[in-house]
Chain A
Amino acid sequence: MDQSKIKEAKAKWAQSDPDLAKLSPRHTDWGDPVESLYTPADVQEQDYLEQLGFPGEHPFARGVYPSMYLGRPWTVRQYSGYDSPKDTNARFRYLLEQGQTGLSVAFDLPTQIGYDSDHPMSAGEVGKVGVPVDTLEDMEVIFEGLPLDKLSTSMTINAPSAIMLAMYVSIGKKQGLEPKVLRGTLQNDVLKEYTVRGTYIFPPKPSIRLVTDIFEYCSKNVPRFNTINVAGYHMREAGCSAVQEIAFAFSNAIAYIEAGLEAGLDIDKFAPRISWIFNTNNKIFEEVAKYRAARRIWAEMLRDRFGAKDPRSCMLRFHTQTSGASLTAQQPLNNVVRVAYQTLAAVLAGAQSIAACSYDEALSLPTEESVRTSLRTQQILREETGVTDTIDPMGGSYYMEALTNQLYARIKELMAEVEEMGGAVEAIEKGFVQKEIERRAYDIQKQVELGEQVVVGVNKYAIEEDEQEVLVESNPQAEQDQIQRLQALKNRRSQDKVNSALAALKQQAQGDGALMPVIIEAVEAYASLGEICGVLREVFGEYQPVRTI
């Protein structure tokens, strides 16, 4: 078909209805205009084999595995962690009984920031947003009766990732398992902690040293573990666009890769274990296109820039969570619908693993009923709707392909801008990433207040509502109980063993040798997370945030 004929016919069509001519243009999440209609003329430049290819083949735009969901459905992985190690163990058993296929551990803030439960900064925070882990003993309780060789466990931990990995390896040993059979994921993405998430401890340089140390240790000992879960998710929650989400996350990943290469690692030894967490938001088609474009950019970059030979290095395998920030405290049941649409987008995009938010998240910790509804949302999609019957079902839609091409270009433009600044670390130290995200968060809020961006139940279709009483509250005793457990353990353990393990750690940290072996030794001596991080704080110093306001 002659493309110019299509364009001509389209122009004629656009005049055919006065309403069409009057329309004010719609815009994508990142600000480009959206056409009222897409035609083959919008994708005429597309080279199918070069730009899309087949699932499981370079550049993986249509999916990372040849058979995708026909071979194996995505992993259903809800995020949880409660009050105490014991309660968390009970919740995990419940989720597995209900058909969940992977675990995802939420840690409390003291754990994420490397303070023990009895540290003054921990007061009031123990067990609040996840489970507290002070020592190996807590991890033993969390995973009691859960055979690690039958599970994959994702751990949302960043600055203290090496310590949590050491604990996981140690409980594996106690179950008689070699590290090589363990499967799971560490978040371990410290750069986004500086920009949006806030659980940083050390400055960038030693933080990245810990990351590459984990790359190296795992490539030799725990080859099935995802050593890092680079996150676009949190930046998107903080307000950035779909383009910024991918571009900033990829820029952070480049910093980790370059550090790994500098440490002398072979790209194909660690790149296959880089995994991702992204945010699936409200705009269904844009979200699907985002992942298709991202897979292509990643594959091309790994092959062409970093010289990866192993196709697995080029595969963008990702976990996604629906957007918590899109949920409302008003008319909370509406969130069930939002979560379902976002989950649908994630499935249409070929996600490897999905966490669907709970509808009561804007109010409190989720109830058992709301968690079950999220689980069922995924199961209904998988087993009732037929959306998994064919691979990349949106592929070939003129709109979808045009959006994918546009996102591909926009993401690369922004990545180039970050590169020009000297890369992710410099862009963060200059406050560029933070300011970009903050500005957009403010713009969105203004649009919502002006009614330009609709939030159903909040600035449109609002109703008078009684205040929702909260059903789940954290146990007020949890903090004291945890502190007592820690004290009891400290009295029981061999202080000599702890002291010598911590001294060895300090010495190793002061040099440039591998840290994982000494951390494992410290963990197995039941040194606490706070003690281990304390030694590292002493040697590495602490990060001082960049002021952007």
Chain B
Amino acid sequence: MSKRIRVLAAKPGLDGHDRGIKVVCAGLKDAGMEVIYTGLRQTPEAIVAAAMQEDVDVIALSTLSGAHNQHLPRVAQLLREKDAQHILLVAGGIVPPHDRVSLREKGVSEIFGPGTTMTQIAEFIRTNVSLS
């Protein structure tokens, strides 16, 4: 076990609620991961470009404004286009159950809802990440 897991965290779209993502960033750091947080108002294109440039293993997105169906599938699609499907894509926020199903089909590995612990998120990432 040598390589540390690298995570790119971002807020896609215009939502400014960043308490959750910042807490998750701190939690993943404490769990031994390297975390790069690119902040608010990130476009899917900017997120994927940063992820490729930083050579991350995981993209973690937070969305609470209801625009998840717009941004999350687009990130997954761009990862496919760039042949970067080895990057694990996860998200957190308020996403209704039926949207979660369709987002998983479109390439988002997991969507963490309210009440999820940092421990659960770190555990999921460790189990599902494919380290290059």
Contacts and interface: CB of A to CB of B under 8 A. Distances in A.
Nearest to A438: B22
Contacts of A21: none
Contact of A109 (B14, B27, B69): B14
B25 A549 contact: yes
B115 A458 contact: yes
Nearest to A126: B67
B19 A238 contact: yes
A473 B95 CA distance: 11
Contacts of A121: 14, 41, 43
13 contacts: A121-B41, A121-B43, A124-B70, A128-B65, A129-B65, A198-B41, A329-B115, A363-B96, A441-B22, A469-B98, A547-B39, A549-B25, A549-B35
Interface string B110-122: 0001110111000
Nearest to A325: B19
Contacts of A128: 65-67
A199 B115 CA distance: 26
Contacts of A110: 14
Interface string A438-463: 10011001101100000000100000
A366 interface: no
Given A124-B13, A125-B70, A441 B23 contact: yes
Interface of B: 13-19, 22-23, 25-27, 35, 37, 39-41, 43, 65-67, 69-71, 94, 96-98, 113-115, 117-119
Given A113-B14, A129-B66, A197-B16, 13 more contacts: A109-B16, A109-B65, A121-B43, A128-B66, A196-B18, A198-B41, A199-B14, A239-B23, A329-B113, A330-B114, A364-B94, A438-B22, A469-B96
Interface residues of A, number: 46
Contact of A445 (B23, B66, B94): B23
A226 interface: no
Given A364-B96, A473-B96, A547-B39, A438 B114 contact: no
A284 interface: no
A237 interface: yes
Contact of A442 (B23, B69, B96): B23
Nearest to A472: B96
B97 A469 contact: yes
Given A545-B40, A549-B25, A449 B114 contact: no
Given A197-B16, A198-B40, A123 B70 contact: yes
Nearest to A468: B97
A473 B97 CA distance: 12
A109 B15 contact: yes
A442 B26 contact: yes
Nearest to A544: B39
A328 interface: yes
Given A328-B115, A449-B118, A545-B39, A198 B17 contact: yes
Nearest to A449: B117
Nearest to A470: B96
B14 A125 contact: yes
Nearest to A197: B16
Given A109-B14, A128-B65, A362 B114 contact: yes
A363 to B, nearest CB: 7
A470 B13 CA distance: 22
B70 A442 contact: no
Q: Nearest 5 pairs between A and B by C-beta?
A: A198-B16, A124-B70, A109-B14, A124-B67, A470-B96
B114 A328 contact: yes
Contacts of A545: 39-40
A124 B94 contact: no
Contacts of B41: 113, 121, 198
